[in-house]
Structure 1
Amino acid sequence: MIVVTGSVTAKEDCFDEVRGLSLEHVRRSRSEPGCISHAVHVDCENPMRLVFVEQWADRPALLAHFAVPESRQFVRALQPLAAAATTIEIYDATRVENF
């Protein structure tokens, strides 16, 4: 499984737009092949920061997600609305049973 975390900190006057774009992206992404989960959350310590947590079946599924035109459009749409650089981290994860 591939786990992706990311974040965007919205400019103060752009939060609602960033939130709307993010929710649209999450909902669309959930229907893609190989998407196990895709969510966005508001950071409790910085309410202008949205945090994404995603799980993908494998690397090809994630690469296909990145290649979807709407995914690239989402990233481009966020850039002028962000107060700081967006972040993304990708992890190759193995589930631990009975921990």
Structure 2
Amino acid sequence: MVIVMGTVKLDPAKLEAAKPAMARMVAASRAEPGCVAYAYAQDLLDPATMHVAEQWKDRAALTEHFATPHMAEWRGVMGGLGLTGRDLRVFEADEGLPI
């Protein structure tokens, strides 16, 4: 299992305009065969911060994700979304246990 966690900061003035592109990215990513989970969540105390949480069945699935047409589109529109910061990390993990 591969987990991607982190944050993306957007220009607050462009946040509403960015949401359709983010929704397309989430929907397309969730449809990938190696995707276990994929989500963006707005921070309650800092609305310009989006939390990113992704789970992939393995490193190969994440590598395939980076090569998809929707990832290419996402890279193309990110600059126009008012991206002001990004801190994403990749973690290797087991399947985990229920709490």
Q: Same fold (TM over 0.5)?
A: yes
Instruction: Tell me the TM-score normalised to structure 1 length.
Output: 0.87
Contact 1:8 1:82 in 2 (8 A): no
- 2:82 is matched with 82
RMSD: 1.7
Q: Which runs of 5+ in 2 are unaligned?
A: none
- The TM-score, its normalising length taken from structure 2, stands at 0.87
Q: What letter corresponds to residue 31 of structure 2 in structure 1?
A: S
Q: Distance in 2 between matches of 1:19 and 1:51?
A: 13
**Partner SS state of residue 84, structure 2:** coil
Name 1:59's counterpart in structure 2. 59
Aligned equivalents of 1:41, 1:82: Cα separation in 2: 17
Equivalent AA in structure 1 for residue 44 of structure 2? C
Moved over 4 A (4+): none
- The number of aligned residues is 99
Structure richer in strand, relative to its length: 2
1:1-99 pair list within 5 angstroms: 1-97=1-97
Aligned residue type for 2:59: R
